[in-house]
Amino acid sequence: MSKEGIIISLEHLSKWFGDKRVLDDVSLTIKKGEFVTILGPSGCGKTTTLRIIAGFETPDDGNVYIGGSLMNRVQPHKRPVNTVFQRYALFPHLNVFDNIAFGLKLKGVSRSEIETRVMRVLKMVGMTDYEWRNVDSLSGGQQQRVAIARAIVNQPEVLLLDEPLSALDHKMRKDMQIELKQMHKQLGITFVYVTHDQEEALTLSDTVVVMNEGVVQQIGSPTDIYNEPVNCFVADFIGESNIFNGTMIADRKVSFMGHEFECVDEGFGENVPVDVVVRPEDIYIMARTDRGQFHGVVSSCIFKGVHYEIIVNTPDGYELMIQDYNPFEAGMEVSMIIKPSDIQVMRKERITNTLEGEMIDQTHVELLGCGFECLPQEGLAAGNKVRVEVDFDKVELTDDKRDGTCEGDITFILYKADHWHLTVRAENGENIYVDTQDVWEDRDIVGINIRPEDMRITRAEESAA
C-alpha cells in the first residue's frame, strides 16, 4: 500500500471508549515532510488519533500504516515516531543533558555519538549552554524545548506533538510557534501536531485537519479551510463568521437576511435551503447611502488593535459582525455591500431533526431513549419502529432538566445572525438540533420537550422507502 511520498495513512479508523464512539471512520494521508495539524474542540478525538498513530491506543476498526507498513500490532517503541506531550514529562532528577541522552543510552549508542547528537539538538532548540542545568530550574518554555530536543534526538521520521505549547503564556507560545516552524524546516521530518487553537493551526501548518465529534470535517491548506469552509462548523470554528440560513434561488443567486444577493455558486438547484457564510472583513460598510445592498444601525464599535469590530443590527432583526479599518459610531445609520465572491454557500447538513423511534403505545413514542407523548397514531402499535421529524424551532429546552421529558447537554452553539442553532446531546448519545432565541451556554444541562403536535411520525420502513 506504500504510495510515493506518503508516510502515514490512516484508513477508516473507529475507536470506542465504553459505549462512546470517539472516532468515526477517520481517514487521513500525510505526506513525508508535511506539517499537519489536527484541529478541533476539546473532546473531538484529536489526541486519540495521535495516540493511535503513536501506538498508545489500538483502533477498534481500521488500519494505521507508517512508511507503507501496517502498524496496528506494532509496539509504540518500534514505530518510527516520537511524541512530545502537553506536559513535558521530563525526568526531574536528571539534568538537561541526561534527559535528552536517556533514550540513546538505552539503545547503547556510544558516548561520543551521544555527546555529538545531544549538543546538536540543544543548538537546534536554542538551548546551548544549558546541558548541565537541572530541569526544575528551567522555565516552562525551556522545559518544552528540552522535551522537543529529547524527541528529535532519536531522529524519528515523524514527530507527534500533542498541544506542546498549551502550558506556555501567550508571548512564549508565539515565539515557540516561530521556532517550531523553523525546526520543522531544518529537520525536514514530518510533524503531526494537535491543537484546539485555530490561530496556531493556521500559522504553523501545511495542512489542517478539522475534526468534530470524532469525525473529520475538512482537510485542506490553511487558506482553503479559511476561505472555503465546507460546513458551518468549520466556518464557525476557524475565524469569525456571519452565518445565515439562506435559500439558493437559482444558479448564482442566493437569498438571506430577506435580501437577494448575487453569488458565484452554481449547481445547487432552485429554491434549495442552504447555509451562507460571510466573513466580517468581507462586508463593506459605509454611512447610509442608496448604493448599499442593505442597511442597518451600528450597535457597537470596538477597536481591536488593527481593525474595528462593528456590530450592526438590520431592521429585519439580524445582527452582523463587520470588521473595518474605520470606526462607525454606535447609533449611526449605515449601508452594506457584499461582493458575490465573498458569499460562501454551503449545502445544509440537515433541514430538520429526523429521529429513529419506537412506539410505546398509540400515544407514546420512545425517542432519544425517553418516552414522549404523541398524538394518537392510527395503524401503529407498540413496538413498531418509526421515524419522527421535528423542526429545529419546535424543540423546547428547559433550564431545569427535571422539567424535560428527556435530559441533554449542549455540545455546540452556532449563532446564525438572528437566532442560535444548538446541538444538544441526549442521555443516549443521540443529537437533537434546536433553533432558539434564548441564550444558552456550552455544556449547559437542559431538559428537552417536544409537543405532540410538532412530531411528524411515519413507520420507519415507509419513510426509508
CA distance 386 to 380: 9
83 binds ligand ATP (CB under 6 A): no
Q: Do 21 and 14 contact (CB within 8 A), yes or no?
A: yes
Stretch that binds ligand ATP, among 38-46, 88-96, 297-305, 424-432 (CB under 6 A): 38-46
Smallest separation (angstroms) from ligand ATP to the CB of 387: 28
Which residue matches cell numbers 470517539?
22
In whole angstroms, how close is the CB of 323 to ligand ATP at the nearest point? 28
Closest by CA position to 284, among listed 342, 226, 238: 342
Stretch that binds ligand ATP, among 3-11, 45-53, 354-362, 366-374 (CB under 6 A): 45-53
**43 lies in the binding site for ligand ATP (CB under 6 A):** yes
Give the SS3 label for residue 185. helix
Q: Does 75 bind ligand ATP (CB under 6 A)?
A: no
Q: b or e along 383-395 (b: 16 or more beta carbons within 10 Å of the residue's beta carbon)?
A: ebebbbbbbbebb
Interacting stretch for ligand ATP, rule CB under 6 A, among 41-49, 139-147, 269-277, 298-306?
A: 41-49
Site membership for ligand ATP, residue 46 (CB under 6 A): yes
Letter string b/e over residues 401-427, b meaning 16 or more CB atoms within 10 A of that residue's CB: beebbbbbebbbbbebbbbbbbbbbbe
Q: How many residues sit close enough to ligand ATP to count as binding (CB under 6 A)?
A: 11
The amino acid sitting at 160 is L
Dist CA 198 CA 335 (whole Å)? 31
State the Cα–Cα distance between residues 41 and 442, nearest whole angstrom.
Answer: 12
Least Å distance, CB 45 to ligand ATP, is 4
Count other C-beta atoms under 10 Å from residue 347's C-beta.
12
The CB-of-429 to ligand ATP minimum distance in angstroms stands at 11
Q: Of the listed pieces 40-48, 64-72, 77-85, 286-294, which binds ligand ATP according to CB under 6 A?
A: 40-48
Cβ-based nearer residue to ligand ATP, 211 or 321: 211
Report the distance separating Cα 215 and Cα 12, nearest Å: 11
d(CA 10, CA 354): 31
Cβ closer to ligand ATP: 107 or 443?
443
Subset of residues 48 to 67 that bind ligand ATP, contact rule: CB under 6 A: 48
* Single residue of 1, 5, 17, 266 touching ligand ATP by CB under 6 A: 17
- Determine the distance from the C-alpha atom of residue 71 to the mean position of all C-alpha atoms in its chain, rounded to a whole number: 27
Question: Could you say whether residue 44 binds ligand ATP (CB under 6 A)?
Answer: yes
**88 or 392: CB nearest ligand ATP:** 88
Pick between residue 211 and residue 380 the one whose CB is nearest to ligand ATP. 211
Burial class (CB in 10 A: 0-12, 13-18, 19+), 296: buried
Interacting residue with ligand ATP among 7, 8, 13, 22 (CB under 6 A): 22
Nearest approach, Cβ of 404 to ligand ATP (angstroms)?
23
Contact between 47 and ligand ATP by CB under 6 A: the answer reads yes
CB of 43 to ligand ATP, least distance (A): 4
Bridge partner residues of 423 (DSSP): 412, 433
CB of 19 to ligand ATP, least distance (A): 11
Piece of 42-50, 224-232, 298-306, 381-389 that binds ligand ATP (CB under 6 A): 42-50
Specify the DSSP class assigned to residue 281.
Answer: G
42 binding ligand ATP? (CB under 6 A): yes
How far, CA to CA in Å, does 433 sit from each of 36, 383, 405? 32, 25, 16
And the C-alpha cell for 123?
A: 543548538
In whole angstroms, the minimum distance from the beta carbon of 186 to ligand ATP comes to 28
Backbone angles phi, psi at 128, to 5 degrees: -60, 145
Q: Determine if 196 is a binding residue for ligand ATP (CB under 6 A).
A: yes
Residue numbers at the binding site for ligand ATP (CB under 6 A) = 17, 22, 40, 42-48, 196
